[in-house]
Amino acid sequence: MIADVFAENFGSVNAARSIYLALAEIASDRQSDTFDASHAEIAHRAGLSVATVKRVLPTFRDLGLVVIKRNSINKIERPSTYTLIRGALAHHELALAQGTKNK
C-alpha cells in the first residue's frame, strides 16, 4: 500500500518506507505499539529530514497505518504519541481511504 500511495501522489516511496520502518523499530525497541517520539527522532532513525517526516506522517494517519496524538505542556509541543495499527487497510480498501480523504 505504501508503494502505491506514495508513488502515485508524492514520488517518495523510499522515504515513506524508511519512515514506516523507523516507526516499527521504535515500537520494537520500546516493546509497545504505542510510544512517544519526536519528529527529530523519527527523522534520525529514517535517515531523512524532519520536514520529510512531517510531510509523510499525515498520509500514514489518513491511511490508517498509525494513530497520532499530539502532546503539549503549557502550550509547548512535546513528542507525539504514536500507535502503529496492525492489519491496516487492505489493499482493496485503499480507494475508500483516498475517497474519504478527498471529501
Tell me the whole-structure pTM to 2 decimals.
Answer: 0.78
Give the integer Cα–Cα distance in Å for 94 and 46.
25
Give the integer Cα–Cα distance in Å for 42 and 78.
14
Specify the residue for cell string 508524492.
10
49 located within any domain: yes
Residue 10, pLDDT score? 62
pLDDT of 38 strictly over 80:
yes
Question: Which ranges constitute the DSSP H helices of the chain?
Answer: 2-9, 13-30, 39-46, 50-63, 94-102
What average pLDDT is seen over the chain? Answer: 85
Average pLDDT for residues 71-88, to the nearest whole number? 88
pLDDT of 90 strictly over 50:
no
61 located within any domain: yes
Average pLDDT for residues 61-66, to the nearest whole number? 93
CATH of the domain at 10: 1.10.10.10
pLDDT: which is higher, 96 or 66 = 66
**Which domain, by its residues, includes 37?**
2-98
103 located within any domain: no
How many separate domains does the chain show? 1
Contact 79, 71 (CB under 8 A): yes
Specify the residue for cell string 503549557.
74
68 located within any domain: yes
